[in-house]
Chain A
């Protein structure tokens, strides 16, 4: 088991290197030097040279004949390994500070959203799986597919228009002076409802797999009630795929929700990311992409190690 954990740990090294390489190719090779965009139209040659020096665009990409390590690629490896992403183009603030500040706002939106939708979809899927093959099952599945087919943007815009603007049930836009909880209600609601269709469908297949097992038949045969079988026996056994989903969702929780944050003005990482796309701020886009990938690698590693602790049969493949 120890050897498994060590091998699994070593396996993350090429993956992290791959992520660094990917962000480098995207933002330095394909994206490249944008000093003229930062400097503006009326900039002098010296200003542009200064900007190129700051972001390291004056150095060769991969190979430097004078100093082997003084290339854009090695600087990129060094900077990403130490989470030093330089400064934003727009307001000169350090990118990592912006990200640290945004993560809290993002988590405040995504954590309640994720757990509410998890609880609701698991409950619905249990009930639906119990009534499998009946008209009730068909009707709920039809609703789920219909819900999955409505574009996400429409959920947000119509939700904001009707619930926030027209009927005035919720505040429409974030305003940091006030007590913030109320600003999260509507985005959380919209997020939960828009994701429900896909999640119910997913957990229904998980539950159906469990429903066919012998222990369920035994439990019914010895005269247990429906509720007790569903919530005590089936739910407990379905916990493994559910927990996998939860652990793998955590990195996404940090990153927030791009469109929801944008529309409801929540200053989290999603808001930051979309704003950076609008202003073509490669520094921020690259940093968030990289951090998202690293978080995913870490939580993937943790899941595998937890599995190996629980289940001794697992080997490294």
Chain B
């Protein structure tokens, strides 16, 4: 008798306790391809984190020293030089690893900036409506009128070599900072629009009315009640946008608006561009392959994540 009641209680708890997140996670785990892609993404992030650790703690490691000449110039890939060497005899493999660090840094910062602009603005516009809504909608409509790539390039151009003045703190903008600021400041429009629409839908639901009737203020309702309920949209959006950020970084670095003191995939393509007609194909191929693998993994994983987190959006 006792065991039965315990069982029934635990089964009720199981049914009731499965949140959106744990449910999505369960569905995601069943997809083998998506989990493999997730592993690939983790590998890229680990490489970036590892290179940061090497830089910070000054670990003397051969792999982490990309600027050293390891052999004669233009050696093809082989047992001795994994991806070959470039025009100064540096290892293409090491440069590709550092490219991962640059790309992931840029994409992470860009995501962080555009989330921290787009999400609060969208939530405020949807929650307060009225004049605040009109101002915010005006702001993002204006930004979205300018063709995206022109806007990024224009931002990157005027921000390059500037010094940022934050309350008396002078922060010189390095190449990487220029790139992620340019991408971040231009890419918050999409998420702002989505969050605004979703908040308008949620605003009059019972849980928000209940919170208000308890006397919760606007800030508390927005950040404690509304945002957690629409946050899965942010996750979906950014798992799919991350690829775009990486590709934008490649184009900006290629055009010479990005990082100049450490390797990036865009700069690798730029320097390999003139090597290609001479038959030195490996640097170009290594950069392409590095971008291709993480883009593919992010695309597949992002799609799977969307399907699992938002059943309404599912294509099938």
Contacts and interface: CB of A to CB of B under 8 A. Distances in A.
Prevailing SS type, chain B contact patch? helix
Contacts of B162: 30
Interface of A: 14-15, 18-19, 21-22, 26-27, 30-31, 132-133, 145-146, 148-154, 157-158, 161, 165, 205, 208, 251-252, 255, 258-259, 273-274, 277-278, 280, 282, 285-286, 288-289, 292-293, 296-297, 300
B142 A18 contact: yes
B147 A153 contact: no
A289 B146 contact: yes
B191 interface: no
Contact of A149 (B138, B265, B276, B295): B295
Nearest to B144: A296
16 contacts: A14-B138, A18-B141, A21-B142, A133-B316, A149-B292, A150-B288, A151-B269, A153-B251, A154-B284, A154-B287, A251-B147, A255-B147, A255-B150, A280-B157, A289-B151, A289-B154
A218 B159 CA distance: 59
Contact of A146 (B247, B257, B296): B296
Interface in B202-223: none
B157 A277 contact: yes
A19 B250 contact: no
B256 A296 contact: no
Contact of A296 (B147, B243, B288, B303): B147
A158 B283 CA distance: 12
B273 interface: yes
8 closest residue pairs by CB, A with B: A18-B142, A149-B295, A149-B296, A31-B158, A154-B288, A293-B145, A293-B146, A30-B158
A133 B316 CA distance: 8
Nearest to B146: A293
B41 interface: no
Contacts of B247: 151-152
B152 to A, nearest CB: 11
A93 B115 CA distance: 42
A154 B146 contact: no
B155 interface: yes
A271 to B, nearest CB: 13
Interface of A is mostly: helix
In this complex, the interface size class of chain B, counting residues with CB under 8 Å from chain A, is: 35 or more
B277 interface: yes
B250 A285 contact: no
Contact of B276 (A30, A133, A157, A300): A157
A139 to B, nearest CB: 14
Given A157-B269, A273-B150, A208 B315 contact: yes
B254 interface: yes
A296 B269 contact: no
B132 interface: no
Interface of B: 138-139, 141-143, 145-147, 149-151, 153-155, 157-159, 162, 243, 247, 250-251, 254-257, 265-266, 269, 273, 276-277, 284, 287-288, 291-292, 295-296, 299-300, 303, 315-316
Given A30-B159, A133-B316, A258-B149, A285 B154 contact: yes
B276 A277 contact: no
Nearest to B142: A18
Given A146-B296, A150-B288, A15 B146 contact: no
A145 B296 contact: yes
B153 A285 contact: yes
A300 B141 CA distance: 11
A15 B153 contact: no
B158 A145 contact: no
A128 B273 CA distance: 36
A161 B277 contact: yes
Contacts of A277: 153, 157, 255, 257
Contacts of A292: 146-147, 150
Q: Counting chain B CB atoms within 10 Å of each CB, which of A251, A277, A296 scores highest?
A: A277
B140 to A, nearest CB: 10
Given A149-B296, A165-B277, A208-B315, A26 B155 contact: yes
Contacts of A18: 138-139, 141-142, 145
Nearest to A22: B142
Contacts of B299: 145, 148-149
Contacts of B265: 151
Given A151-B295, A153-B250, A292-B150, A26 B288 contact: no
B273 A157 contact: yes
Given A150-B291, A151-B269, A282-B158, 11 more contacts: A27-B158, A145-B299, A149-B299, A150-B292, A151-B247, A152-B247, A158-B288, A277-B255, A289-B150, A292-B147, A293-B146
Contacts of A165: 277
A166 to B, nearest CB: 9
A290 to B, nearest CB: 8
Contacts of B316: 132-133
A8 to B, nearest CB: 13
A112 B237 CA distance: 32
A151 B291 contact: yes
Contacts of A288: 150
